[in-house]
Chains A and B, each alone.
Chain A
């Protein structure tokens, strides 16, 4: 696609955003969206590692009902509660919400739009620092005793337990601002910094996904912010809003919490879908099928997503009429999600499919997200939910969408843009093995949890009946395969950094603007400001020669 002119290929591998300025200080004060994206990437990867360790510990502890490992009890019940809470809090607030938008989105979005930077570069840096401060609060809460409420902080337990709820909610409150600023920045960037010639419908679909995400970040996160403030005040001063002992309403907390936290799961999944919309046309070498319906379905998910929070509360005692309406609206979300799945499949149909690692992950996404989405319909149905609520079925559904969906898409995107970000090609062979391990490990871990849940194993319980032991053990073995797959992915990507830069401008034959600049890009992204002349998925014409580099 189509930047007007290009500096000849000799410019390649000379100056780029990584070596244009040197020293730690130049990184700490940078306003370059690419460097900020890289710093976000390292921070969220660290969080992912930490959350993953907690996950492995949970599974290890559940290997048998006595929690015996090598003849010793690995965790008592209280520690177990803290571990699963920390797993949830770290994964949700420190990893998955910022993962794709703040790390990959920061790096790729301005490049895709043909812009030099995001709309507010200093605000972008500020959001990184706020994230860091939030993370410090979170770690402080962990080392001073942890939290045992679950990541949802439900009252009245959260207002009475003496674990570090206040510190941890403070951390989530601060992290919220980081998320708001990222979203605000991206909306302004998409509105105002598109390259000349790029109308809304010439934007790559990644940008539409990020746009829909950003709307939710801006509109939902402040409500979480005030909710957490109210929770902290209730804990400290008994203001009388959530605690039933003093006349408060604990269900009100659930309403407030899910008014953010249900849209928040779309903050998590929409960017994942956005990445898949890029990878599938590139590795099918075919125009995306149904551009507009994919674009609008992202926005539709974002908007309908605001109206379904009550489906987390079918058994909370809310009015049956409200439950019926929430259940109906929940089914509505399946429509735009289904539209996306079928459009992606139609894009692949008769395409020239190349099964490189990003595409393997994208296909894994299609399978896993479909399972996650369809089991969501079970849970959205009122009568079925009463049986399945608060069981491992919910845990498995959530992980199929969040891990099988978002995390797999995140890893897909990481492989897809790795050459652009680092200038290095990773080992395709190792990446494929890692993808296979991750896929198998994931399914072994969580498919068994669907069975556990449908048979009545409640989530978050420390003890369980002996009859559940084989499935729990199966799930734990799966977690080891999954851990090995993710570990191998890390090794595969990081070991590529030791080589000399070898990535061409456009290793995959993509048609979006980020592939027209050198890998890694120069500080201001493009040698000459691009002007758009072709659509983002125009595979009918061959690539301009200089782009192939």
Chain B
């Protein structure tokens, strides 16, 4: 069998998988895979953005009135929180690259904390909407609308922020996993691929919010 071939090539590094020749090749492959995955994420959200744009064009007045129910200051607060989390994440990648293992753990925890704050704020926003009956589709029960079809805006509001929220939850899980591995000391200058890749993912989640905030909260 190919054990001889493997020995000849000296696959001793446990972080190098059997089908790669070098660590650079492995790293670049993983990174390419992550970028491709992010492309699929953009297209997934892309469908919602296109749907929103078309529906807004169809019911401009309804969308304008409906968006006044959103709290701009809470949205802005969440934007700042996510931007801060992107900063701590990029610092975490740097800490891994430079083998600062303790700092890495703290920065990852800070990123997670920001993510939880974001979800906490979102919880307050959502419960306020629930209370007023500003809900998607057939659950919409807000009284006193002067323009019909405002429920369409809230359908999109909940789908877009909901899908984004699911991605935040996924990010929390992934970063939590990074924390556990970082505590074990798995990451250093020699091997930090997962930190780098999840960092990329986290920036995309942040970026999507950067588009969602003006789109939903700042309609003119």
Expressed in whole angstroms, the Cα–Cα distance for A436 and B50 within the complex equals 49
| Interface-centre pick from B6, B9, B18, B137 (highest chain A CB count, 10 A) | B137
A188 touches B5 (CB 8 A): no
Contact with B along A473-494 (1 / 0, CB 8 A): 0000000000000000000000
B55 touches A241 (CB 8 A): yes
B155 partner, pick from A193, A220, A239, A528, beta carbons under 8 A: A239
Expressed in whole angstroms, the Cα–Cα distance for A37 and B154 within the complex equals 45
In the complex, what residues of B have CB within 8 A of residue A187's CB?
Answer: 32, 36
| A143 on interface, CB distance cutoff 8 Å | no
In the complex, what residues of A have CB within 8 A of residue B19's CB?
Answer: 115-119, 121, 193, 524
Contact with A along B153-192 (1 / 0, CB 8 A): 0011001000000000000000000000000000000000
Shortest distance between the CB of B28 and any CB in chain A (Å): 6
A119 touches B33 (CB 8 A): yes
Shortest distance between the CB of A258 and any CB in chain B (Å): 13
Which A residues, 220 to 271, have Cβ-Cβ distances below 8 Å to chain B?
220-223, 225-227, 230, 233-234, 237-241, 247, 249, 252, 256
Expressed in whole angstroms, the Cα–Cα distance for A227 and B37 within the complex equals 18
In the complex, what residues of B have CB within 8 A of residue A526's CB?
Answer: 2, 5
B47 touches A256 (CB 8 A): yes
A230 touches B41 (CB 8 A): no
Shortest distance between the CB of A513 and any CB in chain B (Å): 15
Interface size on B, residues (CB 8 A): 43
| B39 on interface, CB distance cutoff 8 Å | yes
A241 touches B51 (CB 8 A): yes
In the complex, what residues of A have CB within 8 A of residue B137's CB?
Answer: 233-234, 237-240
A239 touches B2 (CB 8 A): no
| A387 on interface, CB distance cutoff 8 Å | no
| B15 on interface, CB distance cutoff 8 Å | no
In the complex, what residues of A have CB within 8 A of residue B39's CB?
Answer: 218-219
Shortest distance between the CB of B25 and any CB in chain A (Å): 6
| A523 on interface, CB distance cutoff 8 Å | yes
A230-B51, A240-B137 as given contacts; A222 in contact with B40, CB under 8 Å: yes
A239-B152, A241-B51 as given contacts; A249 in contact with B58, CB under 8 Å: yes
In the complex, what residues of B have CB within 8 A of residue A241's CB?
Answer: 51, 55, 152, 155
Shortest distance between the CB of B27 and any CB in chain A (Å): 10
Which A residues, 424 to 482, have Cβ-Cβ distances below 8 Å to chain B?
none
| B136 on interface, CB distance cutoff 8 Å | yes
| A292 on interface, CB distance cutoff 8 Å | no
Closest Cβ neighbor of B2 among chain A residues: A524
Expressed in whole angstroms, the Cα–Cα distance for A538 and B111 within the complex equals 55
A247 touches B36 (CB 8 A): no
Shortest distance between the CB of B85 and any CB in chain A (Å): 25
Contact with A along B30-68 (1 / 0, CB 8 A): 001100110111011111101100110011000000000
| Interface-centre pick from A123, A238, A526, A527 (highest chain B CB count, 10 A) | A238
| Interface-centre pick from A184, A230, A527, A528 (highest chain B CB count, 10 A) | A184
Shortest distance between the CB of B63 and any CB in chain A (Å): 12
Expressed in whole angstroms, the Cα–Cα distance for A238 and B154 within the complex equals 12
Expressed in whole angstroms, the Cα–Cα distance for A524 and B21 within the complex equals 13
| Interface-centre pick from A121, A191, A241 (highest chain B CB count, 10 A) | A241
In the complex, what residues of B have CB within 8 A of residue A121's CB?
Answer: 17, 19
| A141 on interface, CB distance cutoff 8 Å | no
| B149 on interface, CB distance cutoff 8 Å | yes
A191 touches B54 (CB 8 A): no
Instruction: List the 6 shortest-distance A-B pairs measured between CB atoms, nearest first.
Output: A226-B47, A237-B137, A239-B155, A116-B19, A222-B43, A524-B2
| B127 on interface, CB distance cutoff 8 Å | no
A116 touches B155 (CB 8 A): no
Expressed in whole angstroms, the Cα–Cα distance for A222 and B163 within the complex equals 13
A192 touches B25 (CB 8 A): yes
A188 touches B32 (CB 8 A): yes
Closest Cβ neighbor of B148 among chain A residues: A247
| A500 on interface, CB distance cutoff 8 Å | no
B5 touches A180 (CB 8 A): no
B47 partner, pick from A123, A192, A230, beta carbons under 8 A: A230
| B1 on interface, CB distance cutoff 8 Å | yes
Expressed in whole angstroms, the Cα–Cα distance for A117 and B156 within the complex equals 42
In the complex, what residues of B have CB within 8 A of residue A296's CB?
Answer: none
Contacts beyond the supplied A192-B28, A222-B40, A223-B46: 15 A-B pairs with Cβ under 8 Å: A121-B19, A184-B33, A219-B43, A223-B47, A225-B47, A226-B46, A233-B155, A234-B137, A237-B139, A240-B137, A247-B148, A247-B149, A247-B152, A524-B2, A524-B5
| A379 on interface, CB distance cutoff 8 Å | no
Shortest distance between the CB of A253 and any CB in chain B (Å): 10
